[in-house]
């Protein structure tokens, strides 16, 4: 069985307006599973950045990588504005990909 790859850039958040992570992948569901299970370690695991709040698909990986680099260079507020244009409540878009809803995050103030 041939699995079609779909290059995309995605943004994860720890909570609404929380810590952000931008990544690129050709298999969003697999990559999101890896992040949520802690397989990737590092930043995403350390800061519990598991809520999928935005993703954009592309025709090829080169375009996706260029967009990822562009977004990583943006100011934080621009990223927040981008997310809130299509996802004003910071809903977890992973649910639409078949993932269980995340438990509400608790701030560590």
- pTM value? 0.91
The H or E element spanning position 10 is: strand 8-13
For position 82, which CATH number holds?
3.40.1440.10
What is the four-CA torsion angle of 96, 36, 10, 109, rounded to 10 degrees? 110
Q: Is residue 45 part of a domain?
A: yes
Give the number of domains in the chain: 1
The DSSP bridge partners found for residue 57 are 8
**Within a domain: 13:** yes
Please give the chain's pLDDT, 109 residues, in tens. 445 689 999 999 999 999 999 999 999 999 999 999 999 889 998 999 999 999 999 999 999 999 999 999 999 999 999 999 999 999 999 999 999 988 776 544 4
Q: Cα dist. 61→8, 15, 20 in Å?
A: 8, 28, 22
- In a domain? residue 2: no
Q: Which residue range(s) make up the domain with 38?
A: 8-97
Judge contact between 66 and 101, C-beta under 8 A: no
Structure tokens at 39: 């397989």
């Amino acid at each position: 069985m041939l699995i079609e790859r779909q290059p995309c850039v995605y943004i994860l958040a720890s909570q609404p307006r929380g810590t952000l992570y931008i990544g690129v992948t050709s298999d969003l569901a697999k990559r999101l599973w890896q992040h949520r299970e802690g397989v990737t370690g590092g930043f995403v695991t350390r800061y519990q950045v598991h809520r999928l709040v935005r993703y954009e698909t592309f025709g090829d990986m080169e375009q996706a990588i260029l967009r990822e680099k562009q977004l990583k260079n943006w100011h934080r507020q621009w990223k927040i504005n981008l997310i809130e244009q299509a996802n004003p409540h910071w809903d977890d878009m992973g649910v639409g990909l078949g993932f269980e809803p995340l438990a509400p995050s608790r701030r560590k103030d």
